[in-house]
Amino acid sequence: MSTRDLFGDAPLNGSGQERDLARAAELRSLLHHHAHCYYTLDAPELPDSEYDRLFRELQALEAAHPELLKPDSPTQRVGGQVLDAFAQVQHRVPMLSIRTETDTEASGAEAFDARVRKELTLSEADPAVQYVAELKFDGLAMSLRYEDGLLVQAATRGDGETGEDVTANVRTIGQIPLRLPSAAPALLEVRGEVYMRRDDFEKLNERQRARMAAGIKGEKTFVNPRNAAAGAVRQLDSGIAAERPLSFFAYGWGDMASAAEGGPVWDTHFEALQQLKSWGFPVADQTSCVLGAAGLVGFHQRMARERDALPYDIDGVVYKVNRLDWQLQLGFVTREPRWAVAHKYPAQEEMTTVLSIDVQVGRTGKLTPVAKLAPVFVGGVTVTNATLHNELEARRKDVRVGDTVIVRRAGDVIPEVVSVVLDRRPADAPQFTMMSHCPVCGSLAEREEGEADHRCTGGLFCSAQRKQAVWHFAHRRAMDIEGLGDKLVDQLVDLGQVKTLADLYHLKLETLASMDRMAEKSAVNLLEALEKSKQATLPRFLFGLGIRHVGEATAKELARHFGQLDAIMVASEDALLQVPDVGPIVAHSIRTFFDQAHNREVVQALRDAGLSWTEGDALAPTEMPLAGVTVVLTGTLQSMGRDEAKDQLEALGAKVSGSVSKKTSYVVAGAEAGSKLDKAQALGVPVLDDAGLAMLLKGDKP
């Protein structure tokens, strides 16, 4: 059935009653179709919010015209069908769903409390009703039947009356006990939710993507944890199900031995949950007893704040009257108990259309395709953009301009496109292809081997990367420009005062003093730090340029091997590969950086601004006085800082390590040396003081 039919655009002829009759029939057909997709095929075509909207429309029509109510209406039953591949299980106590409160504000909880008090004929003078407040998990409802303490059957909800026997698959879930303690009744049916944690879901999809990349047929990634969990439970091969990481929470019970047969006697719902917990069933820690409407509202709001930090998905909370005698008194209406309600949060998935696909450039040069959307209200905000992550992901989801898509937003997470509604795609929608050049600076855009992301090669020239480039250049381990923090960098770049790194060395006192949170004294200090930074070392300067994949250690190896910056700038990839710590990816990154004319221009501009460093002839590592020596620094040195000591030692060929082992040549211990000194003494590693360090720096080995 086409989702194009969802919106009922075609006018219906005849009287108002005839139109309502036709619309009710259409809605019943649509809801049956989408319930089948959701519950049976585990392949939903609609976000929950759209299904709920159609369901409420049918409810309203049936309420206004009782003659439209049919026995087969989705409002009269729990959705779902049994797959032929599984044996059918008749639920002795029906697994009915509970009513959904779609008013996501506090008034939704207040309305439920008011209905309960009215049904119980409580006056304003009577105490507040106590409720159990639970999470509404986004998983698959499950019934677990135990006889004489052993798990004998696990069944899905199915249509509420008849479910599917999935015992073999459920046995693979580690959280579900296979045997109960002797205190448990001879017959007990526990009900709860099978779900998949978010981290487990991500690992599963990573594995699926690896299998797809390896060419394994029939593999696919999953849209969300709920679908992945449902698909795992319905695997015909329990060996495959065992590979899928599933979890379980208990929240109720069904068939059970009577008190006369040794069954439990509970007064409250919360007491029952605690008993189930004592028998080994996981019960969510957030499950709470609350009083009255205020308690319900408080729980709803608290869980809304904590929702995105939970390790699993929820789409609302559930309220249940705590006293079991009151539950019995309240009873049921049609398909749902009067004593419980599910209180939803604003929808986190909605349907909209893709107006265009733009490419954004991040501060590190990453190119990210972003779908520009027709505005849609989802997750509590109006969304107009959704990330497509990278070209591979955009191709995998096959998102195109003009597509109707389902968009998800959770908390502060950037909205993303979940899937495309293919039968609404325009015939001429072009496939997305990543551009070959940066949309900001025009530099070449490349995707390195083994990576998913394209990146701008503009480096220092690209304005989108400029702030990151300046901040990195000023870093303590690079040019060490004290006082040039990220907030000041943002101002200087935004105001156009710094367009290249060389502009830093042309800043004026009055310009700096006029910046937010900058006084004249701070400006003077920064100018002094800039002047001091002009006397650099070649490794620090190389590291400060921010060449992709070139860290401190690689910069030092390059300086040692080539001796001069100009030699590095013209070195071929083959020549670069002769440097220790440089592989094909790093060599290609260095060559690409210096092949860009604008990067060479920035280097020359920095030289013209007065930056200099000591250069010399290339020195083979084996000729260096401390080649093969490994040193560990610990404690506070008197003669110099540890960073300076590290630089001088490495310039002489030594390796400076952060941990002590049998391979350590020396440990240099200053004041208040800690566990590294203790370990050196235990291993018999020579320990040096400041005088011993001075000998090392002269090239002598104590």
Q: How far is CA 99 from CA 138, 380, 497, in A?
A: 16, 22, 61
Question: What are the E-state strand segments in 91-205?
Answer: 100-101, 130-137, 140-147, 150-156, 162-164, 187-195
Which of these is catalytic: 136, 344, 397, 646? 136
Nearest-angstrom CA–CA distance, 478 and 88: 69
556 catalytic per annotation: no
SS (H, E, C) 448-511: CCCCCCEEECCHHHCHHHHHHHHHHHCCCCCCCCCCCCHHHHHHHHHCCCCCCHHHHHHCCHHH
Q: How far is CA 563 from CA 496, 537, 557, 584, in A?
A: 35, 11, 10, 21
User: What is the residue-wise DSSP string for 614-670?
Assistant: -------GGGSTTTT-EEEEESB-SSS-HHHHHHHHHHTTPEEESS--TT--EEEE-
Nearest-angstrom CA–CA distance, 111 and 197: 32
Structure tokens at 370: 């972003």
Using CB atoms within 10 A of its CB, is residue 347 exposed (0-12), middle (13-18) or buried (19+)?
A: buried
State the Cα torsion 95-101-107-109 to the nearest 10°.
10
Nearest to 470 by CA among 486, 453, 449, 494: 486
Question: What are the E-state strand segments in 566-619?
Answer: 612-613
Strand partners, 376: 383
Nearest to 578 by CA among 548, 557, 552, 555: 557
Active site residues: 136
